Chain A
Amino acid sequence: MNDYGIVLAIFGAIAAALFAGIGSARGVGMVGEAAAGVVTEDPSKFSKVLILQLLPGTQGLYGLLAAVLLLSQIGLLKGELIPLTMAQGFQYFIACLPIAVVGYFSAIAQARTAVAGVGIVAKRPDQSGKAISMAAMVETYAILALLISILAINGLK
């Protein structure tokens, strides 16, 4: 039965990387489409819209971070698996959920804000800083979710 614990734990790590990653990919894609429109009109705004495009990308990193932390803690990265009971595995799985779920949705919400921000850059390029700040507000919640995931994973040691 010990194996199932490990499976569940890895499931958690994968979920964190997977959903946060998908959310970021969709988000970066959404902003990229809007940004490309601006660049066709005025290529000099490339650097400004690029920053906006990258903003929803961090959730994927957070998912990766939680996954790496978990995998290294259960010894998978060094090839020496620590045996886990079913309950322990499930705990690890649950611990990954905040960043998996919040990561997915916040990336998309942030992407929407960033798409609107691309509109700001198109019309008033001097105000791009404000567009960035607005999009960064959304990220707070991904950070809080990551915080809980990290604390939980770390606490399960």
Chain B
Amino acid sequence: MAKLTMKWIEIVALLKDRKKIVERLQRCEIVEFSDFQDEALAKMNTTSHVAHLEKNINTAVEAKEILNEYAPTKKSMLSTLNGRREMETSEFGKYVEQRETYLKICYDLINLKKVITENRAAIIRTQTLMDALKIWLDLDIPMQFKGTKYTRCFVGVVPKKRTSEDILLEIAKINPKLEMIHVEVVSAYKEQSCVTIICHNEVADETSEVLRQIGFVFSSDPTKHVPIIRMQRYENELIKYNSEIDESINKIKSYADRIDEIEFLADYSILRKEKYIALNKIGLTKNTFIISGFIPEKYAKKCIYELETQFTAAINLTSPSENEDVPVLLENGEFSAPVESVAEMYSLPGKKDIDPCAIMAFFYYMFFGIMLSDAGYGVLMVIGTAIALKKFNIEGSMKKTLKMFLYCGISTVFWGALFGSWFGDIVPIIYEQFLHIDAPNMALWFEPIKDPIKFLLAAFAFGIVHLFVGLGVSFKMAWDKGQKLDAILDVIPIYIFVLGVAPLCAAVLVSVPTAATTIGKYMAIAGVALIILTAGRKSKNVFAKLGLGLYGLYNVASGYLSDILSYSRLLALGLATGSIAGVVNLMGSMPSNLVFKGILLTIVFIVGHPLNMAINLLGAYVHTNRLQFVEFFSKFYEGGGRAFHPLKVNTKYIKFKENN
């Protein structure tokens, strides 16, 4: 259970089988293709294929988004947890034959969406025009109307709000023959008024001059018809646009049951794209081809057997050389596999590293539990994750993450019970305030809030154990490599030193038996001496040895002090959950009337605890990671490994039913 051993595989087979063999390997998901570099061999250029398939993928994805927008399938939030649906190979073949039809559906959908977008834009355009026309609605002549044989007509706007009298008054200043002029205000607003002025030809020029002076302008978009007719036309256009949109939406909706087929097209295109990328990497001769790549040793035998029996192929398996960039694949048991993603988040194990998951898992769950530290929340986590795992068909990393939270939840219940926290102090509150009897002691160990010093020391103790385990791993790694002296001298003095200093520091906070401090004193001195004497052993100069020794001591002392202090976050987060839960309960139990208290407590409980749980879950997750990454990994782990990326069925919606 750890890093899988990788082998270098070379497959030579007949050219005519190349697609079948690559497809076979894709289904097995165990070979990472390497780009075969040899000038003597030809390469197949698949770039145009890949580009074409990428276009298909994008088309399908876009079509699916359109379908989701207009005809969303009713799915609960939780059902998104469901993994890919299974598909028989025979069914797959049937779908493949229909792929052109599916592509056509996708293009149809995209075109329909385009129609909708265009019509929506047209609607906005028309509405703007309608708004501009609205002020002219009361006009019962066309806005272009210029007059009759004996009259002139002016249709336009003047600034400011004016009545017909205002305008007549202005005109009267120059031309007193008002009986020859008729002024009508169509509509008036604060900024402008729409006016129609009809006058006899005799006074037309003067009137025009007056109007110019008061800022009259002809309407910028004059109508050929009476405005109301133009308005009706606009309204008809709107109806047309809307009906086109409705029609398109209905057409899109009619495709709702084709979503499976669109998903198939996306997946099928992804499959083929990956295949073509892989095909690009193989070397070709006239009649044969060669695939080279990495394969986990564990699965190699079965794969070779299958290929050799089904095809004419020569397969060669070798161990990769030392300086080869070998990819890393982790495989762990039920208990430690869930934390693989945490290790991956930091970095995959490098060449010299071991797989840290197995050692890390126990501490991970433990620290998470101490930080969340509320049994009630733990129970909720366990129930939630267990239901999700049982009810939904969850795959891959999501499944691992849920399992991790399941184990973390179990650990939280354990620690919460030790600290006596079940949704904070809800049990004592119910006992004391509703039943009026003394609450039983909830804590199986002790209540952190009543004795934070004890909690702090416990946290440091857990931290020391954690660090020592990390150091122990580095000891074993050095020992196995044959550097036995280094293993002993790099680790043992630190053990002695830290174990010696620990009781001395604890004595500052609590009373420690004198025997312990005395032993501690001697161990600390011995540790200091050992570190000074051995840390500089690689140097030949005596003074350099001493200098490096002192420097080593400084590093150990400051490094371990800060590392161990860092575990105080167990206390901080552990206390935070319980006390904020306590505040929630306190808020709920403020009324003295029992009925009110019951109602308020229920409401506050239902709202407050999930919030507190969410915040503290996040805190526990982040800080548990940190303790692993910074304090633990720094003792033995380097990382820098490259993830194993086999050619595989990298689909989103469907997977093949394996006929084993």
Contact = CB atoms under 8 A, between A and B. Distances in A.
Given A54-B615, A54-B618, A68 B579 contact: yes
Given A54-B615, A68-B582, 12 more contacts: A54-B618, A62-B572, A64-B583, A65-B575, A65-B580, A69-B449, A129-B625, A132-B622, A143-B572, A144-B565, A144-B568, A151-B453
A147 B449 CA distance: 13
B615 A61 contact: yes
B453 A58 contact: no
Rank and list the top 10 A-B pairs by shortest CB-CB distance, nearest first: A129-B345, A143-B572, A147-B568, A136-B626, A143-B569, A136-B622, A146-B572, A65-B576, A65-B579, A61-B576
Nearest to A142: B572
Given A64-B580, A151-B453, A133 B626 contact: yes
Contacts of B625: 129, 132-133, 136
Interface in B410-456: 449, 452-453, 456
A64 B456 CA distance: 19
Interface string A112-153: 000000000000000001101100110110011011001100
17 contacts: A54-B615, A55-B622, A58-B615, A58-B619, A61-B580, A61-B615, A64-B579, A68-B583, A129-B345, A132-B622, A133-B345, A133-B626, A136-B622, A136-B626, A139-B623, A143-B572, A150-B571
Nearest to A154: B452
Contacts of A58: 576, 615, 619
B34 interface: no
A51 interface: yes
A154 B509 CA distance: 12
Contacts of B580: 61, 64-65, 68
B16 to A, nearest CB: 39
A149 to B, nearest CB: 10
Contacts of B175: none
Interface string A22-57: 000000000000000000000000000001001101
A113 to B, nearest CB: 13
Interface residues of A, number: 27
A58 B456 CA distance: 19
Nearest to B623: A136
A136 B346 CA distance: 14
Contacts of A62: 572, 576
Contacts of B586: 77
A37 B463 CA distance: 39
B505 to A, nearest CB: 13
Given A58-B619, A68-B582, A133 B569 contact: no
Nearest to A145: B572
B462 interface: no
Interface string B539-556: 000000000000000000
If over half of B's interface residues share one DSSP class (helix, strand or loop), that class is named, otherwise mixed; here it is helix
Contacts of A77: 586
Contacts of A140: 566, 569
Contacts of A150: 452, 571-572, 575
Interface string B173-215: 0000000000000000000000000000000000000000000
B629 interface: yes
A69 to B, nearest CB: 7
Nearest to B619: A58
Contacts of B579: 64-65, 68-69
A147 B456 CA distance: 9
A66 B81 CA distance: 40
Interface in B591-630: 615, 618-619, 622-623, 625-626, 629-630
Contacts of A129: 345-346, 625
Contacts of A57: 615
> B456, B576, B615 — which one has the most chain A CB atoms within 10 A of its CB?
B576
B448 to A, nearest CB: 10
Nearest to A153: B452
Interface string A87-128: 000000000000000000000000000000000000000000
Contacts of B572: 62, 65, 143, 146-147, 150
Contacts of B346: 129, 133
A36 B629 CA distance: 29
A126 to B, nearest CB: 9
Contacts of A143: 568-569, 572
Nearest to B628: A133
A150 B580 CA distance: 15
A51 B626 contact: no
A69 B580 CA distance: 10
A63 to B, nearest CB: 11
B626 A137 contact: yes
A54 B611 CA distance: 12
B564 to A, nearest CB: 12
> B569, B586, B625 — which one has the most chain A CB atoms within 10 A of its CB?
B569
Nearest to B566: A140
Contacts of B623: 136, 139
Interface string A51-86: 100110110011011001100000001000000000
A77 B583 CA distance: 10
Nearest to A58: B619
B542 to A, nearest CB: 39
Contacts of B583: 64, 68
Nearest to A60: B615
A140 to B, nearest CB: 6
Nearest to B629: A133
B388 to A, nearest CB: 16
A84 B619 CA distance: 35
A77 B429 CA distance: 14
B340 to A, nearest CB: 13
A15 B76 CA distance: 45
A148 B576 CA distance: 15
B560 to A, nearest CB: 15
A55 B618 CA distance: 8
B234 to A, nearest CB: 34
Contacts of A68: 579-580, 582-583
Contacts of B565: 144
B199 to A, nearest CB: 58
Contacts of A69: 449, 579
